[in-house]
Chain A
């Protein structure tokens, strides 16, 4: 039962690695392609996984940012994410984990209430991003955003750390969320 830890490997020179976890293969692949098209000073590595734990037989670099992709149309993707979260070490949640909710555009197809996902992100103290990954333009914008976040998490941006970024991204929803 291998647990992902943020600092158990040495970083490679000028490399930033992101792990996308989600059941929708096609969407993850498209997002990965969009990210690799971005201009970036560091070398980008994108890993895709359906769920955690990752097979320990593969030799992989240190993971700098994990993005859990939840499809609001499918309860199964939420269950899968919840299962996978158990295999992530607690110290990852200091800014190196982020949730991405897709499918909010087509409200008639949604089977998960937005409140559920907001609560999940709040429980894990991690930012929640919304993006319709099926739409090309939104996907490109989100890819840009993820690349910038990844650079910060890998420590390639001087003066900003993952924890700094987390406190900046923490949305001010007010006292309502604190009582959940």
Chain B
């Protein structure tokens, strides 16, 4: 069980997942049962804390993101609005007493809160409409396994003043919560909590802050911005280059930041996506898995090629942005997903980073 300090944790969660399958959770449990389940949760949390390392405990191998595989396939129509938009990433601790049946209630409460926040300090007439409508809705199909909670979406729409038939609501702000393959977190929380560790927001910062405050007050959770370090960006680059694509919509591009005074220098390196895929294929050995050595080798090839031409050691700089036909990610925690086929795969990796940050 403890063969490898890093792999140990990964393997342990797999084992505990199997164990919990055999003991199905009951909705009404007697007192001793409660105590037993509580002890198991505490035990599991202690295990994960004990094995904690300062960085993402990367298992030496990882599966290449594949097409979504659940019963309800991700409908392109429904998720099309999630693609080609820049999302800011946050990690979110589990929500306490969140219920999917109360979504209308939550819409109403959040609406009132937003209106109150925006009009703070000014006299407000009761019942006045401030042209804002908040909608909570579930996103079906955005999950990794059946155990993952349903993803849900929050949108702020602006209603036009004119009471005519053809009024169009403009979307002011969108945010969605999801959890893909979040087993390691789901294991360790009790029934009252809903685990949706990944939060993606598109819209103004002020709206994000207001909505964040409401969620934090209502569900006793905590948001924190999710930054992606250079190590994880290079993993993303390798995994996304490994994805099989019918046609490439964008060139593969990397951006490095050179720390120098007075102003930092940015180096951008663009490769034809087919060349990048060819390079990856020559490096890649084991089918269906991506290892740390392959990622390092892939990046080293790019670095040495650049060094040969420009005599600059890119390995001494900091990778800041990776952009491929599948998705593009920036170190500040911004992501844009371009390909619906690999949506779940991209979200799975981000969920893992978010869970790691929470823990």
Contacts and interface: CB of A to CB of B under 8 A. Distances in A.
A113 B227 contact: no
Interface string B2-33: 11111010000000000000000000000000
Contacts of A76: 313, 315-316
Contacts, number: 67
A175 B51 CA distance: 13
B234 interface: yes
Given A108-B331, A109-B229, A115 B316 contact: no
B2 A111 contact: no
Nearest to B317: A74
A115 B229 contact: no
Contact of B3 (A108, A109, A179): A179
Interface in A35-88: 73-77, 79
Interface in A143-180: 173-177, 179-180
B55 A108 contact: no
Nearest to B60: A115
Contacts of B229: 107-111
A121 interface: no
Of B2, B53, B315, which is in contact with the most chain A CB atoms at under 10 Å from its CB? B315
B206 interface: no
10 contacts: A74-B316, A74-B318, A75-B303, A108-B331, A110-B229, A111-B315, A111-B318, A114-B54, A114-B55, A174-B2
A131 interface: no
Nearest to B56: A113
Contact of B58 (A73, A77, A115, A173): A115
Interface of A: 23, 73-77, 79, 104, 107-115, 173-177, 179-180
Contacts of B3: 176, 179
B319 interface: yes
Contacts of B299: 75
Contacts of A177: 5
A114 B292 CA distance: 13
A112 B58 contact: no
Given A113-B231, A113-B292, 13 more contacts: A74-B315, A74-B317, A74-B318, A75-B303, A108-B331, A110-B55, A111-B231, A111-B319, A114-B54, A114-B55, A115-B5, A174-B5, A177-B5
B54 A111 contact: no
A26 to B, nearest CB: 11
A107 B331 CA distance: 11
A123 B6 CA distance: 17
Given A175-B2, A176-B5, A179-B3, A107 B316 contact: no
B230 A115 contact: no
Contacts of B2: 174-176
A175 B292 CA distance: 22
Contacts of B303: 75
B230 A104 contact: no
B53 A114 contact: yes
Which residue, A74, A77, A79, A109, has most C-beta atoms of chain B within 10 A?
A: A109
Nearest to A177: B5
Nearest to B230: A111
B316 A108 contact: no
Contacts of A173: 5
B55 A111 contact: no
B234 A111 contact: yes
B295 to A, nearest CB: 10
Interface pairs A-B: 7 shortest CB-CB: A176-B5, A111-B230, A76-B316, A75-B315, A76-B315, A108-B227, A74-B316
Nearest to A106: B229
Nearest to A23: B316
Nearest to A116: B292
Given A113-B55, A113-B58, A176-B5, A79 B315 contact: yes
A75 B231 CA distance: 10
Interface string B40-76: 0000000000000111111000000000000000000
A171 B317 CA distance: 31
Contacts of A111: 229-231, 234, 315, 318-319
